[in-house]
Amino acid sequence: IGIKTNMRRATRVVGSFGGARASRCYVLTQRSSYHTVDITTTEEFQKEVIEASDNVTVVLDLYADWCSPCRALSPNLDSIAKEHYKRLKLVKANVDNAKEIAQQMMVTGIPAVFAFRNQEVHGSFVGAKTKSEINRWLTDDVWDEKDK
């Protein structure tokens, strides 16, 4: 058994069958250059969103795989998380798998995005937004003057 890696994928060789090698591919989910976490439980919500918001702004994205506006919003949030990696953590929760979190946040439409600071919601929006609209939302509604 061996492991071959590159920046995007890890391949684990699981055996050989009649001279042919079989392998399974695993997509690496940990992103080292910025903070992005996927959650499904209320325990993860408490740790990754509420507690983490004492140290950094946490943006919670509640989405669904079948939702077109959610798919349009996702790359914009990812890009902003990369740009502001020192002061922003992006947490994503699929509402189909994280129903308790969606209920706790009283989500009635998706994508629903919330910004947490010091264990409190400091802003939110529903629907797809452009990257510049999200940056404006963070600057105008979420971050204080010292954070800008």
Q: Which residues are bridge partners to 116 per DSSP?
A: 58, 121
Residue of 37, 39, 62, 67 marked catalytic: 67
Does the annotation mark 25 as catalytic? Answer: no
Q: Helix, strand, coil: what percent of the chain each, to 5?
A: 35, 35, 30
111 cis-preceded (ω within 30 degrees of 0): yes
Q: Which of 70, 91, 101, 128 is catalytic?
A: 70
82, two tokens: 């990369």
Kindly state the DSSP code that residue 104 receives in the 8-state scheme. H
Measured between alpha carbons, how far is 28 from 107 in angstroms, rounded to an integer? Answer: 29
* 11 close to 3: Cβ distance less than 8 angstroms: yes
Known catalytic residues are 67, 70
